[in-house]
Amino acid sequence: MPGINKQEDLTTRLYKFEQRLKTFHSWPFGRDCACTAEKMAEAGFYVLNPKREPDLVKCFFCLKELDGWEEADDPWKEHESHSQECSFIKLGKEESEMTLGEILQLLVDRTLLISKRQYEAARQQFTEGYENVKELLNKI
C-alpha cells in the first residue's frame, strides 16, 4: 500500500492472532507448559527476535516487552500485572470473541496510548534541553 511503511504494516498485521502466532516458530516452551505459543499469541504477544532472545515478546497493542518466561507463567496474568495501560488485556477477550465496536475502540485506545508516549518523550527531551540551556546561561 502506498504511504504505509514497513513498521506500520507489521503493526497492522500483528492485530491478527495468526500473524502473532507465526512469530513463535522457535518458542522454547512446548504444549505441556502454561505459556504455549498459542496462549502467548492469544494474550497479544509476538516474538521480537527469536535468534538473539528467544523468549523476548512484545504486546502488539501496548508495546510492553517481557522476557524471562517460565513454564508455569500464565501469559494473560503476566501481561496484566506488567501493563496497566493495555486496553487489549483489560477487554479480556480473544480476537475471535470481539465485536466490531470493541475492535474499533481498541484502535482508538492504541492511538491515544502511542500519542501519550510520544508526548511524554517529547516533553522529557524538551525539559532536558531546557535544563541544559538554563545551566549554560547561569554560567555566563
pLDDT tens for each residue of 91-138: 988 888 999 999 899 989 988 988 998 999 999 999 998 888 888 888
For residue 2, pLDDT beyond 90: no
Place of cell 510520544: 118
Q: Return phi, psi of residue 61, to 5°.
A: -90, -60
For residue 5, pLDDT beyond 60: no
- Record: fold of 6-139: Inhibitor Of Apoptosis Protein (2mihbC-IAP-1); Chain A (1.10.1170)
pTM beyond 0.85: no
Separation of alpha carbons 32 and 29, rounded Å: 8
So what's the pLDDT on residue 124? 93
For residue 65, pLDDT beyond 90: yes
